Structure formats: C-alpha cells, structure tokens
Amino acid sequence: MLKSTWKLIAVSMIASVAMVALAACGSDDSSSSSSAAAAPAAPKAASAASGSTSAPAAPAAPQSAAAPKAAAAAASAAAAPAVASSGGASDSAITITAVLDNVGAAQFRMSKGIWPDVMFHGYFGFLEPMLSWNETYDEDGNPLRGVGGALADTCAKPHLVMSWEWDLPAKGGGTVTQPGLGLDLSAVDLSDPDNQGVMRWTVREGVDFYKSQNGEIIRVGEMTAKDVAWSANDAGSDNTDTANSNSSQAYEYYKRWEAVSDYVGETPARAFTADGLQDFSSECQDAVFVVSKDIQDQYGDSFGIYHGTGPFVVTDWKPSERIEAESRVDHWKNSPAFDKMVYLQANEAQQRSAMLQTGLADIGQSSIQDVGKLESEGFVFNAGMDAIIGNFMYFAGNFWSYTDPVEGGNIIRDGFLPTDKYPWIGDPRVACEGIDRSDPAIQDTPGAGCTAAGFDYKDTEQFSYETTSMEKARNFRKALALSIDRQLIADSVTGGWGSPIYGAGQGAGFPYHQLHPEYDDKYSLEFNPDLALEHFALSGVPEGFEFEFFCSQGNGTSLEVCEAVTGQWRENLGINPVIDSSQYSSRRPTMLGRQIHVPWMTKWGPTSKQGRLSSGGGTLGGGLWPLPSGGYNAGIEDNRNWQGREDTRVQEKGSAENLATRAAQFDFQFHQQLGVGTVEVPLLYGVNPDTIAEWGLRPIEVVNSFDTIVPK
C-alpha cells in the first residue's frame, strides 16, 4: 500500500474537482481484493442501424479500481455532500479515472473544431488515425538513429490504412508504380507541376464506428474508404479552415481524396512528397483522425456527435471539465480490460498531484516538482513512455513572404509590425529603409508605413536579409537566446528531470536537438550573458523595454519554464517581459489568421528516443512554413523556406545533394534565430499501483493508450 503522507491541505485544494470526480472514483476497499480485472460488459443494444430507438437501459454507476484506503476515506469525507448516487451500481464494474491539464470539448470535425480539442478524440481513444508508429529500439534497448536509418518509417505502421503506393510520372512517358516508402526517384519526372502522381491507399476491413445515443452504445456502420477520404478532405485538402496542425501538409501536398471502392481510394498529389501518407496522418504527428461520413451526412455541421472507431465511446463530455466514456469489447485491435474511463481536467499541476494522492484519480498528470515526493509515497511514473516535451520559442510576426509562391499576388499580413514596439520583427524590404519606426502612427499598422510588396527573396534589389531592420531584429533575438541559462533551469526549475536544448531552428526536421543525427556543435546556444549583452546593444532596444510573451497553456508548455526564462531576461538584459498564460486554443485563431506577432513558447517533441525525431535526409517540414494560402502557422513565413522544402521533397533522401540542401537551410535558420530551444521536460504521469497493474504507453506527446491499462 502507498504511504498515507498527504496533508489535509490537499483535500481543500481539490474540493471543487472532487464533487465531479468522486462519482467516478470508488472509495470501497472491496474492489481492491480482486486479483484480476472484471470483464467489461458488452455494448448495450448494439444495433446495425444508426437510428435505433431501443429503450435505454438504466445507467450503472461503476466503481473505480480501489484507491489507497486512507486517501479514499478522506476524499469521501471531504466531498460526500456534493455527490449524488446514481444507483444500480454493479460490484464488478471497474472505472479508471485520469486527471489531466486539459480535456477540451467535443469537436470531432477537423475543420470546425479547435486544436487541441480535436486531437483529444484520438489520443483519448475515441477516434483513430490512418497510421500508427513503429518501435524504434534495437535489441539492446537503445534508440535507433542514423541518416536514412530505421526512423524513416517510424510513423508508418498500418492502422486504419493498411498500405499505400504511388503512380508517378516516368521519364520518357508513362507511369512508375512504387510502394509508399523507400521510393527510387531516379526514373521519375516531376517537372510538370500539374502531374505530380497519384497516391493509392487501402483501408482496413472490418472496423466499425460506434456512437452513444440515449444511453446506448450503437453501431453506426463499417468504416470504408469514403470515411477516410472525407476526413482527409475535411482536415485540409482544398480546405484551409481547419483545426489540424498539419493541415498545411494536407493542403499543400494533396488534392481531393476520393474513394474508388469500399476499401480503396486515390489521391492526386498537388506537390509530391515521398513521405506521403505518414506526413500528416500518423499517430506520431498531429494526426488526421477518421470520422464517419454517414454521421456528417445525418447531422451536417453539428460536429459534436460522440462517435468513432476507437476502443472507447464517449457518453458525456462537459467542456474543459470531464469526459465519460464506455469501453468496447469488440474493438478490432485492443478492447479495454475495464468498463469505463473518466477524464477530469484540473488546471493546476499541484491540484492534479493532490488528486492522485487522495485517490480521486488513478492516473495524474503531475507537477514535475512533485514527482520526487510522490515516488517516495509509492506512486509509479511512466518511465516507459519517454515523451520529452521541448519548450520551444517562436518569434512570431516575421512574415517575410510578400508574394504567394504558387498563386502569385501581394501579401502583407496583419501581424507584420516591424516597428520599435516589436523589435524582434525584421523588415527585409530595401525600399523601407529609413522609416521612423518609433512613430506611434505606424506602431500597429501592417507593413509599418511602407507599401513596398510584390517581390520575393530572390529579388535582391528590393529584398535583403541584411537591412538595418533585419540586423537589429536578429541581434535582439540572438540576445534573448544567449541570455538563457538552460542548465540552471533544468537543474532547479524541473527538479533535475529536464535537460537543455542547445540548438535553435524553425520547422520540422531541423536539428535543433543535440541528439538529432544532423546536429552540429555550431548550432549550440550555450549560456553566454556577455555575448548576449553585445547583441542586445546592437539591437538598439532600450533597457527596461516591456513586451508580451505568450506561454501557451493547454499545449504542454511548462509555465514554470516560461517564468524562469523571462526571469533570466530581466536579470541578464534588463528588459521586462510580461507573460500571457491564456489557453492555447484562445490564441490559435491568430495563428491560423496570420495575425500573431508576439514571441511565444510552445511544446515541440518528443525530442529523444522514439517518436518525432526525424531521420536525416528527409523533406524539410512544410507545416510551420506553409503556403500563405492556408494551414497552421507559427507566425512566421518566408519564401526561402518554402523553396527549401520544394527542393528537398524531390531529392533522394540521404543523398549528397539532399544533405547539402538541408545543411544550407539549417545554417540560414540558425543565423536568423526565429525559433529557439530552451529546456525539455519529460511528460510524467503518476500511476497508483494499488489500482493499476500495468499501462503500456505509446511514445507520443499527449497521454494516451488508455486502452492498454490493466487494472488490479
């Protein structure tokens, strides 16, 4: 049993959450005596017809797997008056409760939802992606690395999509058919932008959609190619109004997806990439999760309909508060070994730790500063997940694309404010040299009082990365990067769990992390306060300068890290950053709308072992340097980066040409310092070993794999 060392103050911290949590977590010691998990009940009145009108069965009040005796008793005493019994509880029913920092809202459609809400449907087990991840350890347990090595297909394990292949235009005419991975482009001709080939994909047979209706779990019908096609189109193919973070890949790489039979579909490429399907539809990425077209046809834009192919079916979702979901016993891959899953939201990390201690949760996304204490009390943390979140900064507002690289036309973004008020934003327009950037009349005017537009970075008479404005902004960004003592933050703020990220860069595939196979020591940003002051002086920014710094809560970012970083800026540079810690979802529209212009910190990871670390020689990421016409945007645009991606996508991975192109782009990005790493922190989820015997987590950046839990 766990040591009962928690204090009464913990109960008062969680009183507001306990009123909803206790209904899901049992306080009866009897369930702890069971040595094996009870078999979950079969879905109620499973019907082949989505419109079944069967009378709902009386809902049961399932018990949680047993919590520590003292904790459960105290929690019950503290919150009992607020809990109403639902009656009819089955002694054999088992509920697992997890408390997290965000549970979002029921928003199943990619184009109508808000990130990260749409992602929770997949990570929590309601919807599923097209592809999942391959293990990337060798037989000795070491992470696999290397240019062109095993990580090339990390995110390409068949899931809802079983396989894919390409019909590509051949040199001399005709087509060449090749598999989805390991392509040989030597016989391929991609010179015609209107003929970039066709991707053909096959979906898994026998996968069913279920939904909750009037208290019943009802079969909607089998997932087919039409559902995959509709989901992909909704997530960004010809659709830029989307919540999916990788929609820019969906939009930029692919035209309309079409089902050609029940289980086969085809997708013409807008811009061929060998990474194909895995680039935006894998569990390793911010995946496109597959929803039911029949549900869409029935309900239209009422997109909050609880349904999916996953191992759990949502029965109730109170936005930003709680989710209740029933387990399926007939899932095609992994049916949970318990009856019900409850997900609770608690905004404060210490609150989540207290809920774990008091038995109100079986799993808790704990404060990293509480981990040592919780481990001493007997709680177990998810060392096997190995999800490492890099706290990574973007200097938004540097919109340097003045011409759409595909469609043409002038572009001036609302977030482009290169004035003294926003000294991290540089202006590369030669014709705009000499503007009084301190003039209050232009401080919040897009373009900052200069109308020059309609050219790109290749027009060196009108565009230069070395204008006075660009150099002053670069020096300010460099000063901020060099004035961060990353090791000190890792040692003190993260309790020794974190580690520094010494590199800087922007976009997927950049070797910003020292474990990346293409990392070079020249990309290091080790703490150097004297050099930071030199760059600060060159920036022309006055001492005491005040500016907004957005720390994106609800997106995995550590507020403690943000506070430490801004504190060091105050100490080492004499400036005054002010943290905005509002929810990420509230600020995301400014990113989609190309209006964000303030520095901000967000997660980027995992950065080690499994998951998102790119193999060398791949395609430069397009998701964070997208076409100006749509998709997610970090507040940065530059046609040079667009061109870098266009060059690398048709080059042989790992070839000398490919590596040289990437290296040149890496050098450029490091020089500009538009993205800066700080420290990485593991995502640590505390588990009560009295209630959970085993939990096989997958190595992605959101707590997941609840279907693998084995209760005691």
Residue 515 neighbours by CB distance under 10 Å = 15
Given the DSSP bridges, would you call strands 175-179 and 161-169 parallel, antiparallel or unpaired? antiparallel
Q: Residue 278 in 3-state DSSP? A: helix
Q: Which residues pair with 384 in a beta bridge?
A: none
| 8 A C-beta contact, residue 470 and residue 398 | no
Query: Is residue 112's pLDDT more than 90?
Result: no
Sign of CA dihedral 428, 433, 437, 439: negative
Q: Which of these ranges, 87-96, 455-464, 527-536, 568-577, has the smallest mean pLDDT?
A: 87-96
pLDDT in tens, 377-408: 999 986 544 566 778 899 999 999 988 887 78
The Cα–Cα gap between 99 and 347 comes to 10
487: nearest Cα among 515, 521, 526: 526
Residue whose token pair is 């580690």: 499
Comparing CA positions, the residue from 43, 269, 279, 251 lying closest to residue 161 is 279
Residue-wise burial string across 424-437, b where 16 or more C-beta atoms lie within 10 A, e elsewhere: bbbbbbbbbeebeb
Cα distance between residue 103 and residue 101, in whole Å? 7
pTM assigned to the model: 0.74
| Lowest pLDDT segment from 35-49, 278-292, 300-314 | 35-49
Q: How do residues 33-72 score in pLDDT, each as one tens digit?
A: 333 333 333 333 333 333 332 222 322 333 344 444 344 3
Distance of alpha carbon 211 from alpha carbon 28, whole angstroms: 31
Q: Is the pLDDT of residue 706 over 70?
A: yes
- Nearest-angstrom CA–CA distance, 260 and 190: 25
Spatial distance between the Cα atoms of 283 and 225, rounded to a whole number of angstroms:
19
Q: What angle do CA 52, 57, 62 make, to 5 degrees?
A: 130
Query: What does the block give as tokens for 181?
Result: 């991975």
Q: Are 401 and 642 in contact (CB under 8 A)?
A: yes
Residue 418 contacts residue 473 (beta carbons within 8 Å): yes
pLDDT over 80 at 476, yes or no: yes
Interacting residues of 451 by C-beta distance below 8 A, sequence separation 6+: none
Q: Percent of the chain, pLDDT > 90?
A: 42
How many degrees, rounded to 5, is the angle at CA 507 between CA 230 and CA 102? Answer: 60
Q: What does each C-alpha distance from 590 to 235, 520, 684 come to in angstroms?
A: 19, 34, 30
Note the pLDDT of residue 460: 93
Q: At what angle do helices 639-649 and 656-672 cross, to 10 degrees?
A: 160
Mapped onto helix, strand or coil, the DSSP state of residue 358 is coil
Which residue type occupies 279?
A: D
Closest CA to 250 of 265, 264, 232, 263: 232
Q: Which amino acid is at 552?
A: S
Q: Quickly tell me which residue has 């293409």 as its tokens.
A: 518
Question: pLDDT digit string (tens) for 1-31?
Answer: 332 222 222 333 334 444 444 444 433 333 3
Residue 465 to residue 541: CA distance in whole angstroms: 19
